[in-house]
Amino acid sequence: MPPGPGKISNVAPIPGSRNILITSALPYVNDAPHLDAPHLGNIIGSVLSADVLARYCRMRGFNTLYIGGTDELDKLQPQVEGFFDDSAAKGEWSNNGKGQTVGWVKRGLKDRSSTRDFKFGTSVSPRLLGYKDKVTYNWFDAPIGYLSITAEYTDKWQDWWQPQNLDDVQLYQFIGKDNGFFHSIFFPATQIATGVNWTKVHHLSAAEYLQYDGATGFSKSRGIGLFGDQAKNSGMEADVWRFYLLYHRPEDSDTDFPWDAFIAANNNMLLKKLCNLVNRVIKFVNKPEPAGYGGSAMRTAPWAGGRKTSAGLLGSYLRHLDAVELRMALHIVLKISEVGNDSAQAANRSSKSDEDECGASLHTCLNLIHLVAALLRPFPPDTAESIARRLGVEAVFVVPDTFDCDSIRPGHKLGEAEHLFTRIRPDPRRPKSGRRRAENGKKGRKASAAPGISKCTESGDGKKPRAEQDGQRRTEASLLDGSTAVGCGLAQDLRPFSFE
């Protein structure tokens, strides 16, 4: 049956399967021009983190629905307290989510008004005596938006929010710690008070704050920090922003966004380690025989040491993501790539002395690169697809339960080595403050990238850059702090290992 009018899908929970319903905090996007984008703290605390879990769950084969959009309590104390104790234990809430809720419950729940005397908002029915000029309290109204957005998406919304068996659907919610109360107590209390069995939060992930360059917290109202539109217009790939924010996700304490660390993450982790590993191994295998393998995977057994180590790390990755510990899961992926570098180093050492050992190491390395691509898919998804193209495999990823080291089989034809990321050249200049220029927020002014940010362009000094003279394309982007992002082919200046 096709979806109903205006519906995108008829997706519904599948009885007997693991059904995951994911929500993230709904950002306000109705502010003045250039102040209508969420800052990076909003992004990592809600929508980006929820996106990672949704991608992971789909790769694991779970029936997953991720919805998002833009824009008398004391009598319920026993029921709310009972709900919290049960849900926090079963769903393994984050420490933030549990800690804040315990504080509210221990102090005793107090009545809260569900209306406000504002001109802007959802009007209360004028037929109710005394409510003519009142609007609904936004935090009473906002969580109900999760239901209405689901209903906008699918005709089967009640199967997600009012399933016959409440254990059929697990609700994961991603928010900042300042909004924990409204998701752990206020909204569940509203659901309980209706007397209807609703799907209530199974796991609450309440992120800490992201600080801007060691100075202060990101703030939309004060215009402090780096905002989504600025990142989008910076000329840097979205995957670089995703990687940095998730690698430093403020899961259990506040984290910082210093430009030096952002540049180092791009240059040292992504370019020097990951990109270098992928390109140099593929280049070596693609060399004509006998110097290489003519572009085909070798016909030897894998390196046992690397296979065993990576299998253990894969288990850690799965445990972290199942517990919604996104940051640690991404750290594990980088550790697996280090095993790949060890395997490549072993191949380099034996390339001229022991053909079988070299082949075994490279066999393991290619399969590790494929595994890394799959495990990266929830985090920087475009990078995962780029690695798949270089390996000559389809960009169809699953997260395996075990690492069998056989996804790249003997005789498989590889793709071509190409650069994955651009290099950022540090600049000693730094902005004196994280505050946005006041004129950028003035009404009617077109949103710009940010001070010092421009789109990625070809070198414009009239001279052919050295990289272009070498037959490589060179691009540059000036970042907020004045640093320059340079794309120069295969990053030939990076040589942690090399095959001769």
The DSSP code sequence of 301-334 is ---HHHHHHHHHHHHHHHHHHHTT-HHHHHHHHH
How far is 380 from 244, CA to CA, in rounded Å? 10
Q: Determine the pLDDT at residue 369.
A: 94
| Total number of domains in the chain | 2
Residues 248 and 324 in one domain: no
| 422 domain-assigned | no
SS3 content of the chain, % helix, strand, coil (to 5): 45, 15, 45
Choose the final residue of a domain: 355, 376, 391.
391
| 446 domain-assigned | no
- The angle, 0 to 180 degrees and rounded to 10, between the axes of the packed helices 304-322 and 326-350 is 170
Closest CA to 272 of 338, 225, 353: 338
Residues 91 and 146 in one domain: yes
Q: pLDDT higher for 129 or 59?
A: 59
- Write out the DSSP string of 210-254: EEETTTEE-BTTTTBS-BHHHHHTTSS-HHHHHHHHHHT--SSS-
Residues 331 and 348 in one domain: yes
| 434 domain-assigned | no
Closest CA to 261 of 38, 491, 483: 483
Residues 41-63: pLDDT tens digits? 888 888 899 999 999 999 999 99
pLDDT band at 429 (very low <50, low <70, confident <90, very high): low
Q: Determine the pLDDT at residue 99.
A: 77
Q: Determine the pLDDT at residue 450.
A: 37
Torsion of the alpha carbons at 120, 124, 125 and 127, rounded to the nearest 10:
-100
User: Is it the case that residue 113 has pLDDT exceeding 60?
Assistant: yes
Residues 150-171: pLDDT tens digits? 998 999 999 999 999 999 999 9
How far is 191 from 208, CA to CA, in rounded Å? 26
Q: How far apart are the first and last CA of the chain?
A: 60
Choose the final residue of a domain: 391, 415, 433.
391
Choose the final residue of a domain: 356, 372, 391.
391
| 213 domain-assigned | yes
Question: Within a 13 Å sphere around the CA of 69, how many CA atoms are in the beta-carbon half?
Answer: 13
| 162 domain-assigned | yes
Which residue type sits at 118? Answer: F
How far is 268 from 288, CA to CA, in rounded Å? 30
| 454 domain-assigned | no
Averaged confidence pLDDT in the chain = 77
Other CB atoms within 10 Å distance of the CB of residue 240: 22
Residues 234 and 279 in one domain: no
Determine how β-strand 201-207 pairs with β-strand 169-176. Answer: parallel
Lowest mean pLDDT among 100-114, 368-382, 466-480: 466-480
Residues 179 and 91 in one domain: yes
CATH of the domain at 363: 1.10.730.10
Residues in CB range of 397: below 8 A, 6 or more apart:
59, 373, 374, 377, 384, 388
Residues 186 and 86 in one domain: yes
pLDDT band at 488 (very low <50, low <70, confident <90, very high): very low
C-alpha radius of gyration, the chain, whole number: 26
Mean pLDDT (whole number) for 66-77: 68
How far is 376 from 314, CA to CA, in rounded Å? 12
| Sole residue written with tokens 């071509």 | 416
Closest CA to 49 of 342, 249, 267: 249
| 24 domain-assigned | yes
Residues 271-328: pLDDT tens digits? 988 999 999 899 888 887 766 666 666 656 656 667 788 889 999 999 999 999 999 9
pTM of the model: 0.79
Q: pLDDT higher for 157 or 437?
A: 157
Sign of CA dihedral 24, 28, 30, 33: negative
Residues 24 and 164 in one domain: yes
Residues 362 and 308 in one domain: yes
Residues 141 and 275 in one domain: no
Closest CA to 341 of 310, 298, 386: 310
Lowest mean pLDDT among 225-234, 245-254, 267-276: 225-234
Residues 202 and 140 in one domain: yes
Question: Within a 13 Å sphere around the CA of 66, how many CA atoms are in the beta-carbon half?
Answer: 17
Residues 234 and 271 in one domain: no
DSSP 270: I
CB 453 within 8 A of CB 233: yes
How far is 197 from 456, CA to CA, in rounded Å? 52
How far is 500 from 496, CA to CA, in rounded Å? 13
| 382 domain-assigned | yes
Domain containing 321 equals 266-391
pLDDT band at 372 (very low <50, low <70, confident <90, very high): very high
Residues 63 and 194 in one domain: yes
CB 95 within 8 A of CB 211: no
